[in-house]
Amino acid sequence: MSSLTLRNLTKSFGKTDVIRGVSLDVEEGEFVVFVGPSGCGKSTLLRMIAGLEDVSGGDLMIGGQRMNDVQAARRGVAMVFQSYALYPHLTVRQNMGFGLKVRKVPAADIARQVGEAADVLKLGALLDRYPRELSGGQRQRVAIGRAIVASPQVFLFDEPLSNLDAELRVHMRAEIAALHRRLGNTMVYVTHDQIEAMTLADRIVVLRDGRIEQVGTPRELYERPANAFVAQFIGSPK
């Protein structure tokens, strides 16, 4: 069974068609990376999967269930944003446990789940700090930790590393790859960094103007790009 299915998905803002019929099956545990130029609809697509934007047309299924009208909190997804989106007045521990607290999960269970996620991301020493007391990389690690605590079926990442400097990006990229190996969740990841896409993806989806240009493994796209646009994005010589 597919973990995530998009079937002829469309999205319009007023008269502007932003997503123009996207169909894709993502397998359980697969790491799928969306790439494409700025404005091609990557964030909109992720936000639709997350339930932060309505679907204009088509079907969206997660774990075999139609999700078009299911509210965000009940979809079994967690999203990591470029801008971290941490609560400034809450500690790392409180930020990571916030979603569970809202769902009235008992405090002891929250503490255990936050502790486990902190172990995975080596955040143990930072749990009582506030976001302003953290570096950019540490903040993004907290944002990822918060997503882990939600134990989602599907992780969504929207350019999570683009605010970090080059060295840290390489480091965090390796952490995300290790996280995927360890947790085995389905991951849908947006980036405009082709090296990030090539190193992380099981399959890459090249998006252009709200449509899929090509889907394939990094090697397939590199060796057999469907057209010059894909070749340019993947960095192959065609």
Residues that bind Mg ion (CB under 5 A): 42-43
* CB 20, min distance to ligand ADP, A: 11
* CB 198, min distance to ligand ADP, A: 19
Is the CB of 117 or the CB of 197 nearer to ligand ADP?
197
Is the CB of 18 or the CB of 117 nearer to ligand ADP?
18
Strands 154-158 and 186-190: parallel
* CB 202, min distance to ligand ADP, A: 21
Is the CB of 30 or the CB of 159 nearer to ligand ADP?
159
**Which entry of ligand ADP, Mg ion, none binds 39, CB below 5 to 8 A by partner kind?**
ligand ADP
Which residues lie near ligand ADP (CB under 6 A)?
A: 13, 18, 36, 38-44
* CB 42, min distance to Mg ion, A: 5
Contact 229, 206 (CB under 8 A): yes
* CB 36, min distance to ligand ADP, A: 6
* CB 18, min distance to Mg ion, A: 11
Is the CB of 43 or the CB of 140 nearer to Mg ion?
43
Q: How far apart are CA 127 and CA 149, in angstroms?
A: 14
Is the CB of 79 or the CB of 134 nearer to Mg ion?
79
| Nearest residue relative to Mg ion (C-beta) | 43
Is the CB of 11 or the CB of 93 nearer to ligand ADP?
11
**Which entry of ligand ADP, Mg ion, none binds 71, CB below 5 to 8 A by partner kind?**
none
